[in-house]
């Protein structure tokens, strides 16, 4: 039975925490402030509230304010600018090249951003598909709906899949439905739903 490798994007295949995430967060706060005509402080607090309730800023904006998701994602994810902060890595390319089996990307990011980052990393040829927040009807990981949607799209059973992620909540859902789970983290977090922990993606081989 051939494996299918499911890779998260941000902070799994590349470093997003240093520059990219802070930039996106600022863009989201600016968008909410302008769209709802509220202060930046109020926008920040509202985003925190929506994270707690919905798991994502976008979901809260869609449910409560009728925000167009495509508009929000394009205005908060400047792919051309953000992709400048990624660095190509021969080690990453070599790792992906040596991993046998189909490889896909499953990210909560929008498709235009994911494509730009993967191209900037020069690893697009190693992935057969990119599944983004649009692919799951804007239901972000760790939503069970999102995982089931992707499994239907790829036509595989959970036991055939290996999930490579930096986020524990996402791995918890993957584990619950029967996927093998690999955590990418420098922090040794003890859990019963992570089959393997690595500190960087190149340790997969």
Task: For residue 143, give its domain range.
Answer: 4-15+83-204
Tokens of 29: 């706060």
Dist CA 159 CA 139 (whole Å): 22
Helix ranges restricted to H, 37-178 = 40-54, 57-65, 69-76, 79-82, 90-98, 111-121, 144-154, 168-176
What does the pLDDT look like over 137-182, one tens digit per residue? 999 999 999 999 999 999 999 999 999 999 999 999 999 999 999 9
Does 189 share its domain with 99? Answer: yes
Does 71 share its domain with 105? Answer: no
Confidence of residue 1 (pLDDT cuts 50, 70, 90): low
Tokens of 92: 């990453």
How many folded domains does the chain comprise?
2
**Does position 196 have pLDDT exceeding 80, yes or no?**
yes
Confidence of residue 189 (pLDDT cuts 50, 70, 90): confident
Maximum separation of any 2 CA atoms in the chain, in Å: 54
| Res 55: pLDDT | 83
What does the pLDDT look like over 96-128, one tens digit per residue? 999 999 999 999 999 999 999 999 999 999 999
Does 198 share its domain with 121? Answer: yes
Tell me the average pLDDT of the chain: 96
CATH of the domain at 27: 1.10.150.450
**Does position 11 have pLDDT exceeding 80, yes or no?**
yes
pLDDT > 70 in the chain, percent: 100
Give the closest residue to 126 by CA, choosing from 137, 134, 135, 118. Answer: 118
Q: What is the pTM of this model?
A: 0.95
Mean pLDDT, range 52-80, rounded to an integer: 95
Q: Which of 38, 63, 78 is the last residue of a domain?
A: 78
**Does position 131 have pLDDT exceeding 90, yes or no?**
yes
Tokens of 81: 């600018």
Does 192 share its domain with 92? Answer: yes
Tokens of 56: 């994502």
Q: Which of 43, 78, 113 is the last residue of a domain?
A: 78
**Does position 17 have pLDDT exceeding 90, yes or no?**
yes
């Amino acid at each position: 039975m051939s494996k299918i490798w499911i890779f998260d994007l941000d902070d799994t295949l590349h470093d997003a925490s240093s520059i990219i995430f802070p930039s996106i967060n600022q863009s989201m706060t600016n968008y909410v402030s302008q769209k709802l005509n509220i202060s930046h402080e109020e926008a920040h607090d509202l985003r925190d509230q929506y994270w707690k309730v919905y798991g994502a800023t976008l979901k809260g904006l869609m449910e409560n304010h009728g925000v167009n998701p495509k508009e929000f994602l394009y205005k908060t994810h400047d792919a051309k600018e953000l992709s400048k902060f990624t660095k190509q890595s021969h080690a990453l390319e070599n790792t992906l090249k040596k991993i046998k089996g189909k490889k896909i990307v499953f990210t909560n990011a929008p498709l235009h951003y994911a494509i730009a980052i993967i191209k900037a990393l020069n690893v697009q040829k190693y992935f057969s598909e990119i599944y983004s927040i649009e692919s799951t009807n804007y239901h972000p990981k760790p939503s069970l709906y999102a995982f089931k949607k992707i499994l239907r799209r790829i036509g595989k059973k959970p036991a055939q899949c290996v999930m490579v992620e930096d986020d524990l909540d996402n791995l918890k859902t993957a584990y619950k439905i029967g996927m093998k789970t690999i955590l990418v983290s420098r922090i040794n977090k003890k859990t019963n739903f992570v089959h393997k922990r690595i500190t960087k993606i190149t340790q997969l081989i």
